[in-house]
């Protein structure tokens, strides 16, 4: 009896996405290491925490594939890209990384819709919301550096950003969760 509830197309896409989340975790670890080596310990702490979130995302995909009776294939993770050249470059790379991930998840949402695989479609809605949060978080980082002067940000402005990020929450608050009474 076949107990696999995923089409091969969706299984492959979900498996590839699992590898992408692992890759994202490695990218955040590499940027965090770069930040630590530059003396930005707050930024490094923030990025290390985020690397852990990406690993949790990887596990979510892995568990879902198994739950649906399909087989997981653990693939090689590509090497992270080159180190950023500045704090602004680092935050821009984080933003681009998240946009790429959102697009990748949207493609699988579309596939699940086309196949009428509503279990997978429903599972992916968590990631759709998570990606909005991650993009907001990355945009907030870019805003901070812009206000501080971008590439021309002074040492003391970068020091403040670094100190703030050490305490930054892991999750961004989304517009849809804000109310007039609780902005
Ligand atoms: Fe797993 Fe940053 O998205």
CA-nearest residue, atom 1 of ligand 1: 54
- CA dihedral (83, 89, 90, 96) positive or negative: negative
Question: By C-alpha distance, which of 92, 142, 132 is closest to 109?
Answer: 132
Does the Cβ of 101 fall within 6 Å of ligand 1? yes
- pTM for this prediction: 0.92
Establish whether residue 98 lines the binding site of ligand 1, counting it when its CB lies within 6 angstroms of any ligand atom. yes
User: Which CATH architecture does the domain made up of 8-170 adopt?
Assistant: Up-down Bundle (1.20)
Q: For 23-72, how does the pLDDT look when each residue is reduced to its tens digit (9 = 90+)?
A: 999 999 999 999 999 999 999 999 999 999 999 999 999 999 999 999 99
Predicted confidence (pLDDT) per residue in 83-124, tens digit: 999 999 999 999 999 999 999 999 999 999 999 999 999 999
Measured from the Cα of 53, ligand 1's closest atom is 1
**Cα separation of 67 and 146, whole Å?**
44
Region label for 80, one of left (φ > 0), alpha (ψ between -120 and 50) or beta (otherwise):
beta
């Amino acid at each position: 009896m076949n107990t696999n509830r995923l089409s091969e197309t969706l299984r492959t896409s979900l498996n590839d996405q699992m590898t992408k989340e692992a890759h994202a975790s490695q990218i955040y670890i590499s940027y965090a290491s770069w930040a630590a080596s530059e003396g930005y310990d707050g930024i490094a702490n923030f990025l290390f925490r985020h690397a852990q979130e990406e690993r949790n995302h990887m596990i979510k995909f892995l568990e879902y594939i198994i739950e649906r009776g399909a087989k997981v294939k653990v693939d090689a993770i590509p090497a992270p890209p080159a180190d950023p050249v500045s704090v602004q470059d680092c935050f821009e790379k984080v933003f681009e990384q998240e946009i790429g991930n959102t697009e990748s998840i949207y493609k699988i949402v579309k596939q699940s819709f086309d196949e009428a695989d509503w279990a997978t479609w429903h599972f992916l809605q968590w990631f759709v919301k998570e990606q909005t949060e991650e993009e907001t978080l990355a945009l907030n980082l870019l805003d901070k550096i812009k206000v501080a002067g971008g590439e021309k940000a002074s040492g003391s402005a970068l020091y403040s950003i670094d100190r703030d990020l050490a305490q930054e929450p892991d999750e961004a608050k989304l517009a849809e969760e804000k109310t007039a009474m609780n902005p």
